[in-house]
């Protein structure tokens, strides 16, 4: 949409199609898109540049409502086909070109799994529902850790299209009575805007991805612009000097929020009120062209040039950045700057040869159905291309069958369980370790520098580690992805433990959940699993053990919250972790389990902890947690975190079907000896048991990602269900002495 509004701003009085160009709006668009570019390309200090999208929303709501009011009062319902036809000509050709180009280039530069995700995103983009897809995906803490989709920015286009489809119908109903053509739309906007804003504020702390991506929580931003349009000439009654000052203030607030907001800001929520209100002030200041307002800056040629091409710049910049990083690896600041420059050139080309010709086409403009037909054809073509590319997705196997790995347990043996990995057998030793008074650890290689309180020769776990060293070494030299990989690469990312589907691992916004008991729920022996998703990854093995040994398994886990009482950097989950831990402590106080098993990922702390030694921060947090947890159970077992992979394992393996070793992480990078030593010290000080797990999955130098036909990780940090079950004998050896001693 070009920045034109009716020459008379009073919608009830407008009787002509004469319009005037608002250069200040084009300049404001330029500031918005430049803020988005700086944020996405990580250029400069504009860490809150994402508010540029909010500026776009207000502008869109203002312009389309201004035009709709004019046309509806002139033509009534007959105006709607023309409005939607103009929307189709304005938006669809440019987005089609970018969508097709992204799908084609993505087919060659993304890993096979990401290609499939991209094609599905492309299908959703053609139906204006991709924002719903991303709301669901980003709400999944695990999926949100993956590389972003090259079509992620299409969420805002989908949201606006949804608004364009519904808002004209509501406005038509509100303008049916011409004598009430102003106050009825104003009342409608007031009610809808208030409801949407309240929903946004309430949902942001609890369901931030949904609040960010979905129309019901973002509609108030577009309606803020609509409210200004309905106000007509009312702002002009305010003295020009006052409006000019308010406009400059609004522009300053927009710039300030791009510099002061960041990814740590809970957004949209209350924070979005600032840039939205500021945009309204800037728009209101320019309604009559008062020359001392921000129009004097925004009307400058460089800004208006960027503003008229802002739609194309927004469309092109994100896939260029993401696909370039996928092809060449992490980009340097200079390379990101060059990528943005290339995107601007592409936008200039698409504006000249695609957007303008389509918008100004006399043939298309003559009949609305022609625009609809062309728009539908473009959408079907893009959808068809995405569907074909899905069908032609590259192979996800190296073509050979591999044997299932066998976890060997030294004699004497007693068969306690059999892994659920297809074809895998596990001989389980009668544990020879005794329940320690302070700490039980396995004997890791010397590189981990962790002391033990019992000789390795006396440890059943150490014996298993030695017995399975050859199996891990075989994984290290594995190069070809087996055709019987378990789980398959296509299913790996969805291979989550049962507690995810059961709602027994809390998500963002939840600090108290239902009671989740597994195994023999009537048993007199209770084991509590406490921690984050890295604790939850042990659930498959623990569930098997609980069933076979008639234990009661109590699950108390939350995504993104460590067991240690530390301040983490995640702005959404960080504030929830403390209250969640307190509720778990209260629940376990009443239950008094026989054993509490604790485990967690290694987290980045908040800025308040920057400068402190990360291990010291973790030490203090562990001591705080154990001070509260240790009195609640007869025994406490702290499981050291599993080794961290080099990157997203399914995606990497899919890209290296005949060179799997390229996806391995060296042990020195995968295992954090300092963090493990801290956990050992804390456990010893509190009479708890500590067991590191690095030797269960790593040799002395490498950490394989494929062992036999077993895919070890489902993403960039979590084990697959099959791996958890395969490692069950280790857990059995660690837990049984604590319950029988």
State the Cα–Cα distance between residues 408 and 734, nearest whole angstrom.
16
Residue with the two structure tokens 């945009």: 279
Task: Using pLDDT thresholds of 50, 70 and 90, give the confidence band for residue 286.
Answer: confident
Closest CA to 127 of 476, 380, 397: 380
Of 106-115, 293-302, 441-450, 706-715, the range with the lowest mean pLDDT is 441-450
What pLDDT is attached to residue 644?
94
State the Cα–Cα distance between residues 542 and 519, nearest whole angstrom.
9
Do residues 343 and 317 touch, judged by C-beta distance below 8 A? yes
* Residue 62 C-alpha from the chain's centroid: 30
What pLDDT is attached to residue 429?
33
Report the DSSP beta bridge partners of residue 639: 691
Do residues 393 and 386 touch, judged by C-beta distance below 8 A? no
pLDDT in tens, 619-630: 899 999 999 999
**Burial class of residue 81 (count of CB atoms within 10 Å of its CB; 0-12, 13-18, 19+):** middle
Helix boundaries (H) for 630-717: 649-655, 667-670, 673-685, 694-697
What pLDDT is attached to residue 194?
97
What pLDDT is attached to residue 139?
60
What pLDDT is attached to residue 602?
83
How many residues can be counted in the chain?
A: 741
What pLDDT is attached to residue 415?
38
Query: How many other CB atoms are found less than 10 A from the CB of residue 216?
Result: 15
pLDDT exceeds 80 at position 5: no
State the Cα–Cα distance between residues 131 and 149, nearest whole angstrom.
12
Residue with the two structure tokens 């700086």: 38
pTM, entire model: 0.84
Closest CA to 734 of 444, 414, 445, 461: 461
What pLDDT is attached to residue 140?
52
Give the rounded percent of residues in the chain with a pLDDT score beyond 90: 70
Angle of helix 130-139 versus helix 112-126 axis, rounded to 10 = 140
Instruction: Give the tokens for residue 425.
Output: 């057998």
Mean predicted lDDT score pLDDT of the chain: 87
Task: Using pLDDT thresholds of 50, 70 and 90, give the confidence band for residue 616.
Answer: confident
Topology of domain 446-740 in CATH is: Rossmann fold (3.40.50)
224 Cβ contact list (under 8 Å, min separation 6):
58, 61, 193, 276, 277, 279, 280
Cα dihedral 298/299/304/308 (nearest 10): 90
Closest CA to 263 of 573, 580, 579, 600: 573
Can you say whether residue 44 is alpha, beta or left, with left for phi > 0 and alpha for psi between -120 and 50 degrees?
A: left
Mean pLDDT of 423-429: 36
Task: Using pLDDT thresholds of 50, 70 and 90, give the confidence band for residue 395.
Answer: confident
What pLDDT is attached to residue 273?
98
pLDDT exceeds 70 at position 701: yes
What pLDDT is attached to residue 259?
95
The DSSP letter of residue 660 is G
pLDDT in tens, 102-142: 999 999 999 999 999 999 999 999 999 999 999 988 765 44
What pLDDT is attached to residue 180?
59
pLDDT exceeds 70 at position 14: no
Closest CA to 532 of 405, 641, 649, 661: 641
Residue with the two structure tokens 């921000």: 294
What pLDDT is attached to residue 210?
93
Give residue limits of the domains in the chain: 4-391, 446-740
Do residues 235 and 229 touch, judged by C-beta distance below 8 A? no
Report the DSSP beta bridge partners of residue 519: 552
Which is more confidently placed, 175 or 141? 175
What pLDDT is attached to residue 2?
62
């Amino acid at each position: 949409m070009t920045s034109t509004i009716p020459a008379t701003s009073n919608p009830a009085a407008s009787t002509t199609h004469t319009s005037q160009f608002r250069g200040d709006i084009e300049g404001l668009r330029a500031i918005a898109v430049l803020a988005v570019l700086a944020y996405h390309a990580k250029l400069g200090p504009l860490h809150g540049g994402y508010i540029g999208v909010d500026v776009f929303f207000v502008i869109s709501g203002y312009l389309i409502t201004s035009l709709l009011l004019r046309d509806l009062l002139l033509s009534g319902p007959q105006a709607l086909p023309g409005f939607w036809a103009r929307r189709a000509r304005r938006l669809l050709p440019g987005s089609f070109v970018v969508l097709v180009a992204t799908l084609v280039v993505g087919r060659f530069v993304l890993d096979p799994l990401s290609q499939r995700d991209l094609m599905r995103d492309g299908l959703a983009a053609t139906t204006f529902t991709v924002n719903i897809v991303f709301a669901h995906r980003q709400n999944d803490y695990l999926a949100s850790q993956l590389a972003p989709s090259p079509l992620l920015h299409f969420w805002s286009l989908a949201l606006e299209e949804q608004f364009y489809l519904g808002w004209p119908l509501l406005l038509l109903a509100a303008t049916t009575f011409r004598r009430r053509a102003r106050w009825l739309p104003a009342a409608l906007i007031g009610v809808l805007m208030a409801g949407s804003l309240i929903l946004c504020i309430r949902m942001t702390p609890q369901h931030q991805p949904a609040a960010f991506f979905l129309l019901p929580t973002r509609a108030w931003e577009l309606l803020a612009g609509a409210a200004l349009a309905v106000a007509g000439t009312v702002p002009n009654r305010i003295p020009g000097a006052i409006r000019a000052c308010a406009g400059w203030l609004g522009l300053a607030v927009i710039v300030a929020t791009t510099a002061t907001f960041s990814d740590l800001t809970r957004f949209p929520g209350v924070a979005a009120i600032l840039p939205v209100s500021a945009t309204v002030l800037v728009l209101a200041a320019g309604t009559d062209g008062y020359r001392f307002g921000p129009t004097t800056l925004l009307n400058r040629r460089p800004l208006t040039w960027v503003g008229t091409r802002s739609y194309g710049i927004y469309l092109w910049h994100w896939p260029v950045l993401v696909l370039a990083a996928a092809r060449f690896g992490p980009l340097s600041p200079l390379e990101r700057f060059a990528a943005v420059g290339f995107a601007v050139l592409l936008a200039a080309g698409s504006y000249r040869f695609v957007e303008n010709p389509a918008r100004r086409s006399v043939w298309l403009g003559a009949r609305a159905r022609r625009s609809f037909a062309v728009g539908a054809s473009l959408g079907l073509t893009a959808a068809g291309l995405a569907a074909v590319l899905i069908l032609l997705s590259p192979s996800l196997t190296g073509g050979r069958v591999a044997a299932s790995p066998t976890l060997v347990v030294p004699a004497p043996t007693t068969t306690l369980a059999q892994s659920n990995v297809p074809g895998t057998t596990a001989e389980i030793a009668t544990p020879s370790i005794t329940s320690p008074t302070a700490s039980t650890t396995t004997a890791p290689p010397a590189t981990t520098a962790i002391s033990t309180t019992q000789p390795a020769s006396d440890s059943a776990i150490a014996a298993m580690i030695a017995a399975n060293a050859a199996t891990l070494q075989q994984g290290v030299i594995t190069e070809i992805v087996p055709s019987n990989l378990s789980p398959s690469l296509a299913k790996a990312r969805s291979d989550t433990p049962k507690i995810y589907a059961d709602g027994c691992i809390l998500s963002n916004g939840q600090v108290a959940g239902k009671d989740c008991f597994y195994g023999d729920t009537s048993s007199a022996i209770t084991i509590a699993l406490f921690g984050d998703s890295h604790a939850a990854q042990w659930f498959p093995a623990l569930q098997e053990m609980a069933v076979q040994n008639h234990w009661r398994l109590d699950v108390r886990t939350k995504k993104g919250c460590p067991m240690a009482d530390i301040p983490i950097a995640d702005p959404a989950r960080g504030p929830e972790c403390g209250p969640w831990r307190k509720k778990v402590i209260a629940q376990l106080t009443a239950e008094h389990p026989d054993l509490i098993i604790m485990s967690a990922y290694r987290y980045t702390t908040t800025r308040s902890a920057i400068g402190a030694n990360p291990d010291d921060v973790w030490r203090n947090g562990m001591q705080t947690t154990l001070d509260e947890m240790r009195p609640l159970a007869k025994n406490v077992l702290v499981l050291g975190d599993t080794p961290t992979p080099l990157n997203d394992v399914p995606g990497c393996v899919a890209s290296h079907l005949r060179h799997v070793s390229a996806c391995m992480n060296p042990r020195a990078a995968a295992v954090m000896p300092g963090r493990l030593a801290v956990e050992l010290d804390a456990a010893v000080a509190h009479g708890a048991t500590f067991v590191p797990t690095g030797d269960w999955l790593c040799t002395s130098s490498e950490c394989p990602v494929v062992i036999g036909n077993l895919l070890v990780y489902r993403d960039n940090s979590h084990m697959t269900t099959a791996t958890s079950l395969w490692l069950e004998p280790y857990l059995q050896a660690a837990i049984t002495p604590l319950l029988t001693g």
